[in-house]
Structure 1
Amino acid sequence: MSFLQLLSTKFTARKVGRDDVGNTYYESRRPDPIYGRPRRTVALARGSDSSIVPPEWHAWLHHTTDAPLDGPKYAWQKPHQPNLTGTPMAWRPKGHDYAGGQRRVTGGDYEAWTPGA
């Protein structure tokens, strides 16, 4: 969020909360004239990658829930991970050019047809 956006948000919205990553969440004081509900925004702590918004706040931002989902963390729940697509840490299968480019032969590999053979 740029400095001017942050400044205008602080004047026109109220702070709702902050997550573990450091993102700050705001809700406008007046409802949006078109949708009839308050506009919800986030000031990201790092950069402009919105995939660092955790699921509980994502639901609140998109008006799925009225309040951020605060509840018990279960043993099977993993911590939130940002989207790594396009980074050096992105997953690449064995046959990918960046991962060596060698893959095993499969039954669906193409064999050219030659007439009379």
Structure 2
Amino acid sequence: GGQQQRLCIARTIATRPDVILMDEPCSALDPIATSRIEDLMQGLRDEFTIIIVTHNMQQAARVSDRTAFFTARPDETTGNRTGLLVEFDKTNQIFGNPTDQRTEDYISGRFG
């Protein structure tokens, strides 16, 4: 498990980007494969800025230095949903003592 993810990461770092964006990098992986991908991400963090999008709060807490929590809200005019940055801070602050109740509700599983 995780071979496709590791191959995609290898192809990405071969281009020496400034930033690597990973969208749900460990979705549908078993815990062992997830651990391998997270270890790889940890090994790359000194050379690359890595941005991950995940709904896995435990993973976010394990692998990130900083965390942003976004939610969506409907536009009052069009009704289209737009993204809203609720909170951004060091990961230990977000998970240990968030300043916004919406963040607390999400990371504690009360909503989302």
Of structures 1 and 2, the larger Rg is shown by: 1
| Higher RCO by CA contacts (8 Å cutoff, separation 6 or greater) | 2
**Which is helix-richer, 1 or 2?**
2
TM category (shorter chain) comes to under 0.3
TM-score, normalisation: structure 2: 0.20
